[in-house]
Structure formats: C-alpha cells, structure tokens
Amino acid sequence: MSILVISMLSLSPDAPMRFGALRRGIPDISQRMLTLTLRNLERDGLVALPPRVEYELTDRGKSMLKPLAGFTDWIRDTWQDIEVSRREFEAEEQSRI
C-alpha cells in the first residue's frame, strides 16, 4: 500500500493532499489501512503531516519518485488486470469452502 500512497502523492508532489482525496484515489483501501500506511510513511520520514491534516511528500519522499516512476507506471498499466486476478482468486477460494 505504501507504493500506492506515494504514487498518489506524486501526482502533485508540491501540494498537500487531504486524507479523503488519498482514499478516493486508491481503490479498495480501508480507512484503517490508509491511516496505518500514512503513519508508517511519516515515521520513515517520507511524508509530513501538517496541522491541517494534509499529507505531502518530504524531500526524501520526493527523491523516491524518479526510481519509482517505472514501477508506478507498471501499476497504473496493470491495476485492472490485478483486480481481475484478485476477484478470480477470491471466487476460487469461495468455491473451495
């Protein structure tokens, strides 16, 4: 999930993003998972939490953007296929029960 959060924040690396905007931009993430992910990224010094509850990449977080560009492009290009695979897997798991 950390990569997806960083990918969302990279869409506007110099502008803070509100929690709700992050959640809307990441399909199927729960509020708890997003909160935990943001706390871990803040702990690692990759995002900052200003008093207005907006998240933005720190300089260290921004330094990850170039190395991650290919990976985030791959995620964007294959995300729908991954979701299909997950649904198929879950359907198979349900049929085994």
Query: Which one-letter amino acid corresponds to residue 34?
Result: L
Angle at 86 between CA 80 and CA 87, to 5 degrees: 90
Q: Which residue has better confidence, 92 or 51?
A: 92
Task: Tell me the pLDDT band of 13, cut-offs 50, 70 and 90.
Answer: confident
Domains of the chain: 2-96 (1.10.10.10)
Per-residue burial over 17-32, b if 16 or more Cβ lie within 10 Å, else e, is: beeebbbeebeebeee
The two beta strands, 17-18 and 47-48, are unpaired
Q: Which residue has better confidence, 12 or 37?
A: 37
Asked if 13 and 68 count as a contact pair (C-beta separation under 8 A), the reply is no
pTM given for the model: 0.58
Structure token digits, residue 9: 């924040």
Question: Which of 28, 10, 33 has its CA nearest to residue 79?
Answer: 28
Model confidence pLDDT, tens digit, residues 40-78? 999 999 999 877 778 899 999 999 999 999 998 998 899
